[in-house]
Amino acid sequence: MNARHSARIGRYLLTFALVVVAVAAVYPLLFTVVSSLKTQSGFANDPLGLPAGITLDNYLEAFRRMDMPRLLLNSLITTLGGLVLSVLAALLVAYAVTKLRFRGGKVVFLLIIVTLTIPSQAIIYPLYQTVLDLGMSGEYQGLILAYAAFGLPLGTYQLAGYFQQVPDELIEAARVDGAGHLTILFRLLAPIATPALAALAIFNFVWMWNDLLLPLVIMGGSDSKTLMVGVSLLSGQYDVSVPLVSAGLIVALLPVLVIYLVFQRQLVAGALAGSGK
């Protein structure tokens, strides 16, 4: 009786703790949504409460100031480009290193994951110089290639770990059946690794879409700058009110949030599968 009683109290405490953290996790988001729906004077009178009346003017103004469609397009192109390229390159390396008799493969693998220890901040100027020398400053391909390079170490590591689990006999059997290497990689291994690929794609999408430093330095103030650069510039303007910035923030974070909510199940499944070692 007593044990059951304390177990029930434990349950309540558990749920209470989970609820508190959940509130802390979403409140800042709700606060920003509410602020974005207030007029400037409405916010000044009552910064914390619910708005007296809802206005969408801030969103219209944010769109007007930021050339939102172009920024969204820029972010989409660079993020998808970097994402596809880095996952593709990682797939090829992971296959070569784990499934081919490829002398020097381990050295290549080590070299690629060692680059994880080179943070973009530490090499930002020489990186900018290199992109400039390649004639890719302010160009989509400059940012796409940089994204791909920075996404490579973790992607290679995850996929190599995944491929490692696939028994060699399976590959041998496919070889005997006359399958070529690329068929094995894309028709046999890639489907097996789908959960890991999905998790990797979402992970890369989130950080590439959200990154500030690389697009700030590579795209600068060009027309190809990404949404995050646009948002950081907006918040720096002197005449910008809190509701207006809030509207800009909501527009900036909405795409990733929507993608996350839509692909939530895949992400969880991928995360679960990816760590199955």
Residues in region 134-163 near another protein by CB under 8 A: 134, 145-146, 148-150, 152, 156-157, 160-161
Contact with another protein (CB under 8 A) among 119, 172, 221, 223? 119
Secondary structure (DSSP) of 114-139: HGGGS-TTTTHHHHHHHHHHTT-TTS
Give the whole-angstrom CA distance, residue 75 versus residue 225: 8
Contact with another protein (CB under 8 A) among 27, 52, 54, 262? 27
User: What is the closest distance, in whole angstroms, from the C-beta atom of residue 242 to another protein in the complex?
Assistant: 6
CB neighbour class for 22 (10 Å; exposed up to 12, middle 13-18, buried from 19): exposed
- Kindly report the three-state secondary structure assignment for every residue of 137-190: CCCHHHHHHHHHHHHHHHHHHHHHHHHHHCCHHHHHHHHHCCCCHHHHHHHHHH
**Among 53-61, 65-73, 108-116, 186-194, the segment contacting another protein (CB under 8 A):** 108-116
Pick out residues in 53-82 that bind another protein (CB under 8 A): none
User: What is the closest distance, in whole angstroms, from the C-beta atom of residue 202 to another protein in the complex?
Assistant: 9
Pick out residues in 186-225 that bind another protein (CB under 8 A): 206, 209-213, 217
Tokens of 19: 């609820």
Residue 25 engages another protein in binding (rule: CB under 8 A): yes
What is the contact mask toward another protein in residues 239 to 268, using x (rule: CB under 8 A)?
---x--xx--x--xx--xx--xx--x--xx
Closer residue to another protein in complex, CB, 125/238: 125
Q: Residues in the chain, how many?
A: 277
User: What is the closest distance, in whole angstroms, from the C-beta atom of residue 138 to another protein in the complex?
Assistant: 16
Q: What is the CA radius of gyration of the chain?
A: 24
Number of residues that bind another protein (CB under 8 A): 103
